[in-house]
Structure formats: structure tokens, C-alpha cells
Chains A and B, each alone.
Chain A
Amino acid sequence: MFKRSVLLVMLVCFLAITGKAQDGSVNNTSVNVSAVVPESFELTSWIRWAKPGQDPYEFGFSGDASAIDFGPLEWNGDLGIWQPTKYFTVFLLARSSGRSYQIKQTSTGLFSGTSNLNNSFTVTPDYVSDDEFSAGQPQGSIPAGDSYGTAGLAASGEKVVYDSGTGQSRIVRAYYGLSTGEPGKPGEAISGDYPAGTYSGSVSFTLTLK
């Protein structure tokens, strides 16, 4: 009996509410909608190794890396030089909430005691339209007003990797390799005269607003 009364009250309420909503007597109301997009300034970076001539994401010829680790070099008897078996790509992604920014790189170079490979250690900035923010979302062509830097020796002072006048987020690449002395490209080959040893150093990327 009690259950039946409760159900009856609920039914009456339901009909009263729906009836009022349908008879046109309800005034239209507006609801304020607002959202705040916080300003952010963020740098993301990751590294891939790849075999010479291969894309950094070429299946079977590339992989993730935690450093630019050339490992033991191989002797090329034909050219009479030491050369690495892979090159490295540092990917950089800046987010600046639309404010113009610049990414620069510096390097200590590669040292082993008093010897160094600084005239062979090269960097080549690049922009690839097909690089994806997320799966299936390519970044598209470089925005007008943005530019990327030129190839050169990594340990030759501060080098611009990417300059964004538009402040748009973009993925930029910096390829690192050891020169084979190819004409028209920066750097000199590592000849057999170089002292053996462990060469190490660091590369540093700097993101600031303009």
C-alpha cells in the first residue's frame, strides 16, 4: 500500500514537471559558459637513432635513444676514415601559447683528454611536414614567419635550431652525425691519425621567448 502511494506521488510529480515543460510556460534561460585556457611554456624532446640514409622512424633501421651514442666507429678502408654506423635525430617540440619563441643549441663538443672531434661533430636542423603531433595528425608545412637553422658544426657557439615568429607549436628535428668529409657538407672526416679513446660531451637545447 505504501509502495503504491509513493509510486503515485512520483507519477504526479513527473506529470507536473513534464506538463509544465511542454505547455510553453517555462521561460527560456541562458547559461553562461566560460573556459580559461592557461598560458603554458613547455619544451619536449626525444631522440631516435637510425642507420645512415634511413628515416628516424624506418622500421628495423631505427630506434629510441637516451643519448647521442655513436658507439665504436667503423673503419672505412676505401675512404681511409673512421665513420659511425648510425646518426641521431633530436626531436624538439615547444608550446608557448602563441608567443614567439626561439630554440637554440650549444655543444661542449666531443673530448677525450686533450683530443677532440669538434671539427667532425655536425648538426643539421630540419622541418618535416609529415611529423605527427599524434597518430594521424601531421603538423603540415612550416608557418610563414617561422624558420629553421642551417647545418654546421655542433660545437661552434650558439646555433638557432628553430625560430618561431608565429608562436605556433611545431616539431623540429636536429640531426647529429660525424662528418665523412663529403664535399659541400660541414665538417671534416675522422682520419686514422685520431687518437683512440672515449670521446664524450653534451648538447644543450635552450627554449626562451623572444
Chain B
Amino acid sequence: MNKFLILIFSCAMLLTAAAPAHAFKISISDPKVRVQAEPGQVVNGSMRVENPSDQEILIRVYMEDFVYIAPFDGSKKFLIPETSKFSCASWVSFSPQEFTLPPFGKKNIDYTIRVPENARGGHYSVLFFETMLGEMQKEEGYRVNVLGRIGSLFFIEMKGAEKKAEITEIAVKENSFRGIYANTGDLFTKVNTTFYVLDSQSMVIDRKEENEIYILPPDQTEFTLTPSSDLAAGEYTLIATFDLQDGDTLIREIDFSKDRNGKLTIREIRD
């Protein structure tokens, strides 16, 4: 009898976990829209928003600005539209701006990007699709409504705008090589940093991928290259590749030595 009750109880718990009574689900087809345009150009597009749940949802669509912030790991700050110097919120018109999606319903959102004649460099804003869990109620007590929004990041970049970067101040800090990566170009840059270490026989003995950097101009951030602590005392060359995407890369070669106490010393840095 006890086993039967436990079974009933377990089934009830699992069903509760799998199917919450109040939930929202929202899905979009294009979480990133990247457009390379000429000044004055008009670009049309469309993206799909879906309600993959069995409950009707009300969706509000609106633009905001965003900027990447320290530690430049992809974290963003969202801003009122047209307050960022990189804003393209006023360039993008879209329709509809509010609608209801039935259970398992889909809808296309059409947008038009009108690039101003004097546009230069890169411009970045976000199109949000927002919905609310449950109904807004005004009851006595202490009540907080829960909203969820999902963003489509707009990257509108002028043809001919340049990606540029500077790598400076490479030094040894706490068994790592640290330096400064500065975005000196006109465009947002996502940087994938990888390195490998060669021994004195030019054999690869260490290889690593470091954290990605997401950075707008003219921001700069510290990067870290940490060779394996297993390296024996000796002389090595570390070759670091900063992949700026779209075929743009920066390479730095660091000749260094490691003493018996594990201390790293830079002998030479080459481009």
C-alpha cells in the first residue's frame, strides 16, 4: 500500500515538473540580423515569432539600444532607444507592434531598415519581443508581475567600414601573459583568441582557446593567455591568434622561458 502511494506521489510530482500550469514560451527565428549596407540604402526583411505553448500570449514589439560592457564577455547594457552613439533604432520600422499569438501560433514581423545618407561605421540596436506570464492583476498585497523578452540583435554596418585593433602591454602576470586589446576601428568586433606553444624543437606542446571578447570601438580590455602549468623549465614560443572574424586576424609571437621555479620571462614579442 505504501509503495502504491509513493508511486502515485512520484507520478504527481513528475507531471507537475513537466507541465507547469502557468508558463510562457516565446521563440524567434532571427536572434541576430547582420546587414552590410550603403548609406541611403533601404533594406527589407522579415522574421518569424512563434508561441510554442498551449496558452495564448500577448506580444509587444519594440526597439532598444545596446552596448557591450566590461568584462566584454558578451554582457550587454540595454538602453532607451536612440541614446547610444551606435543606435540604429530610428532606422528600423516594423509591423505589427502588438499582437496576440494563439497556442502554437506563428507570425511574421516585417521590418524595413532605412540607412541615413550620412551613416558611417557600425550601428547596433535590439528588437525585443516581450510577453507576460499570467494576467496583470491589481490585488491587495505585494505583487510582482513577471515579463519575459527575447531579443533580435541588429548589426547594421556600412560597407567599407574597417575592423582595426591594437594589442599592447603584453607582460607576465601570475603565470599568464596579459595584455590590452583595443578596438581602434569603426565596427563591433567579436574576437576568438587561441594560442599554441612550441618547444625548442618547434613541436606543439600546448594548445588552448581563451574566452571570447565582444567589444565596440573605442573600448579596450585586458586579455589573458595562460600556458599549461605542466610545461617543464625551458625555452618556448607562444603563437597567439586573435580572430576578428570575416578573415581578419592579428597574430603575436611571444618567445619566453620558464625557470625551475615556474617563473615565466618574456624574451621577445613579434607581430
Give the B-binding residues of A (Cβ under 8 A).
Answer: 39-48, 57, 59, 64-73, 84, 90-92, 95-96, 99-100, 102, 107, 110, 117, 121, 131-132, 134-136, 158, 160, 163, 165, 176, 178, 198-210
- Write the chain B residue with the least CB distance to A100: B74
Asked if A102 contacts B75 (CB within 8 A), the reply is: yes
Asked if B31 contacts A203 (CB within 8 A), the reply is: no
CA A206 to CA B22, docked complex, whole Å = 19
Asked if B144 contacts A206 (CB within 8 A), the reply is: no
* Residues of chain B with a CB closer than 8 A to A92's CB: 148
* Residues of chain A with a CB closer than 8 A to B26's CB: 42-43
* Residues of chain A with a CB closer than 8 A to B85's CB: none
Looking at the complex, which one of A47, A72, A96, A121 makes contact with B141 (CB distance below 8 Å)?
A72
Q: What's the least CB distance linking B58 to chain A, in Å?
A: 14
Interface residue SS majority, chain A: strand
Q: What's the least CB distance linking A37 to chain B, in Å?
A: 14
Looking at the complex, which one of B12, B22, B76 makes contact with A46 (CB distance below 8 Å)?
B22
Looking at the complex, which one of B12, B23, B137, B151 makes contact with A208 (CB distance below 8 Å)?
B151
CA A90 to CA B133, docked complex, whole Å = 11
Interface residues in B71-118 by Cβ distance below 8 A to A read 73-78
Asked if B146 contacts A45 (CB within 8 A), the reply is: yes
Q: List 17 A-B contacts (CB under 8 A).
A: A40-B27, A64-B21, A66-B135, A67-B137, A67-B146, A68-B145, A69-B141, A90-B146, A96-B31, A135-B18, A198-B139, A199-B142, A200-B145, A204-B146, A208-B66, A209-B32, A210-B74
